[in-house]
């Protein structure tokens, strides 16, 4: 069932779609989450904004070493139940 609503903002009408928003998880982060079922379950159960923040933190790393370190910390934090960075 789709939910649609019209919202008036400054005299203009915008249509909102109630479809669930999906976060594109990079392959290296997805692989790391696949190795830890608890972390993956916690990640998948989070609201969109929290998942997006974790992915953004990983993808903004400029060096491969930094990215690998952030992925490891992300999995560890998610395993421990931390919802935000």
Q: What is the pTM of this model?
A: 0.77
Tokens 């929290």, located at residue = 50
Q: What is the pLDDT of residues 4-59, one digit of tens each?
A: 555 555 666 555 667 778 899 999 999 999 999 999 999 999 999 999 999 999 99
Overall average pLDDT of the 57-83 stretch = 96
Whether the predicted pLDDT of 2 surpasses 70: no
For residue 24, the model assigns a pLDDT of 95
Boundaries of every domain in the chain: 21-79
């Amino acid at each position: 069932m789709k939910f649609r609503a019209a919202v008036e903002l400054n005299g203009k009408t915008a249509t909102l779609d109630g479809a669930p928003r999906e976060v594109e998880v990079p392959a290296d982060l997805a692989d790391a989450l696949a190795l830890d079922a608890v972390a993956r379950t916690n990640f998948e159960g989070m609201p969109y904004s929290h998942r997006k923040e974790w992915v953004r933190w990983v993808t903004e790393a400029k060096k491969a070493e930094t990215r690998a370190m952030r992925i490891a910390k992300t999995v560890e934090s998610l395993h421990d139940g931390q919802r935000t960075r």
